[in-house]
Structure 1
């Protein structure tokens, strides 16, 4: 039985703010590589940790942060679709997507 007076430090306002800050930094890096929220959440944990380190961010310890990142990516994609002429509506490093997201190989028939 848990103590009702025990604080869940993972879900305090400060923890939520830190999680959001980390997610925002990750989302900026990942969006520039043209990776969608769904593609991100399909990556295995080892690949997510590598991606976070490449972004210069300490890898999140929970999937909760990655879910927030995916939501931010989807939000940015919707914004970009609504503002196609805006300079920030086009990822600048989309050529790096292949480093993270492998396209399925079409078998020869």
Structure 2
């Protein structure tokens, strides 16, 4: 699950902020059974942080490339900016 999320540029804080239904879908998309506890997701978040640190130290390594970053929007929605009416 961590490898799937990392390839899609999902950061640990973003992962932990996802609703339970989205986490279940994410696990299934990663060809994994959804975990039954939040502890597993906390471990996945720690692995994401470790991989981020490794990638920062080895930017030229092929493993430091997020191969599916364009799919992030499928999982993590950017904050919606409120529309301001002209006065």
Q: Which TM bucket (shorter chain)? A: over 0.9
Stretches of structure 1 that go unaligned for 5 or more consecutive residues are 1-25
Deviation at 1:89, TM superposition (A): 0.6
**TM-score, with length taken from structure 2:** 0.93
**Which structure carries more relative contact order (alpha carbon 8 Å, separation 6+)?**
2
User: Pairwise mapping of residues 37-76 of structure 1 onto structure 2 (< 5 A)?
Assistant: 37-76=12-51
Q: Measure how far apart 1:107 and its partner are.
A: 1.9
Q: Which runs of 5+ in 2 are unaligned?
A: none
Residues 8-87 of structure 1: pairs in structure 2 closer than 5 A: 26-87=1-62
How many pairs are equivalent? 84
Superposition misfits of 4+ residues, deviation over 6 angstroms: none
With the length of structure 1 as denominator, give the TM-score of the two structures.
0.75
Bigger CA radius of gyration: 1
Task: Give the distance between the partners of 2:83 and 2:33, measured in 1 at CA.
Answer: 41
Following superposition, the deviation at residue 105 of structure 1 comes to: 1.4
